[in-house]
Amino acid sequence: MNALEAKRYWIALTLIPNLSPRKFHILLENFSSPQEIWEAPLTRLREIPGFAESAETFCAHREKANIDRALEQIAQLGLTVVTLDDAQYPEPLRAIPDAPPVLYLRGEYIEKDKLAVAIVGTRRVTAYGRRIAQQFAGELGRLGFTIVSGLAEGIDTAAHRGALKANARTIAIIGSGFARLYPQSNKKLLEEIVSNGCAMTEFAPEVAPEKWTFPQRNRIISGLSRGVLVVEAPEDSGALITARWALEQNREVFAVPGSILSESQRGCHKLIKDGAKLVESVTDILEEFKDLRALFTVRREKPAPAKKPPLSPLEEKIFSVLEFEPTHFDEIVGKTGLSVGEVSEGLLTLALQGLVQELEGKHYVKLP
């Protein structure tokens, strides 16, 4: 019997659309094995407290399930299947309520990944949010943390890329099955992640991304992590769902502040009001992991800020009107009263000194 065939009935149960993680656990508590669950008659399923109302639908879906097709597809996609019965099941995840009974993986989850921080936020990312997410992911990654996120566009993508750039491990938790990957725009990024970390989901390969799949997967993002850092999030962001899961799972919640005028920062500010730790540097995160202090002596004290190099009057005039939020070239010209040529020259020299970065659409930001 091959490895997949040995998990046949675990996999089969993930093919049932109405079988939530909680109901899956109820069945596991009432039967000796997934195979016994699969073969149980309707009369027996109706007797189970907390499951009786789902028994008939369960049986109807069971009749339609094509287990052999699922096994074939899992093999074609090169997936590893890990269940609650397996020693390699992620220990941090095993401890959460309603832990996913089955995980589909690409890449490998390793012991080192227990030291993880999640970085999440809005899909509608600003240049500020992208830069901060990459910065924190890189710094935490270089310290040995695995960076966990959800492969979504925006902050998630920036977090994964920041980790990869630092040659750190990163884990993507997707909100669909691997055959229905979302978003398709991050297909190439997924391959990079798998080469230096892993991607995982609790959904069978053909499960499509739906509104309900993302909030459900968010508990895995927080469950795998020691803490969740929210970088940029409006009040209706799914990142706040991840933060709530983190609190329920007794994980730390961190939030990066931003402009009070920005809609995309309101979720972070609400989290801070509600007790999340305001974070300005990686040191603020490390302070909450007291058991790890010996590992991070290099980060116990905040590094002294780098001294700004001496600037010419032209450079100083331009630098003084720049912000950490993007400013358009034309606005810089208007605020300084300088000519287009002078502003171009000044921005170039400031960029060469590492003080300014050019963004898309002739926007510029001051670097921290």
CATH class for the region spanning 107-299: alpha beta
| C-alpha closest to that of 170 among 204, 119, 233, 219 | 119
Pairing of strands 363-366, 356-359: antiparallel
- Position 247 pLDDT exceeds 60: yes
Lowest mean pLDDT among 49-58, 292-301, 338-347: 292-301
- Provide the β-strand partners of residue 107: 198
Across 277-304, average pLDDT: 72
- CATH architecture assigned to 313-366: Orthogonal Bundle (1.10)
pLDDT at site 332: 94
Would you state the pLDDT for residue 233?
Answer: 87
Q: Which residue has the tokens 């962001």?
A: 237
Interval 301-308 mean pLDDT? 54
Nearest to 236 by CA among 214, 221, 207, 256: 214
Q: Is the pLDDT of residue 214 over 60?
A: yes
Residue 368 one-letter amino acid: P
**Residue 198 near residue 208 (C-beta atoms within 8 A):** no
Instruction: State the Cα–Cα distance between residues 368 and 363, nearest whole angstrom.
Output: 16
**Quick one: which H or E segment has residue 161?**
helix 155-165
Query: What pTM was estimated for this model as a whole?
Result: 0.81
Which uninterrupted H or E stretch holds 11?
A: helix 8-13
120 pLDDT tier (thresholds 50, 70, 90):
very high
Question: Could you count the other beta carbons within 10 Å of the beta carbon of residue 55?
Answer: 18
- What are the structural domain ranges in the chain? 3-77, 107-299, 313-366
pLDDT in tens, 251-276: 999 999 988 878 878 989 999 998 99
Give residues with Cβ within 8 angstroms of 306, minimum separation 6.
Answer: none
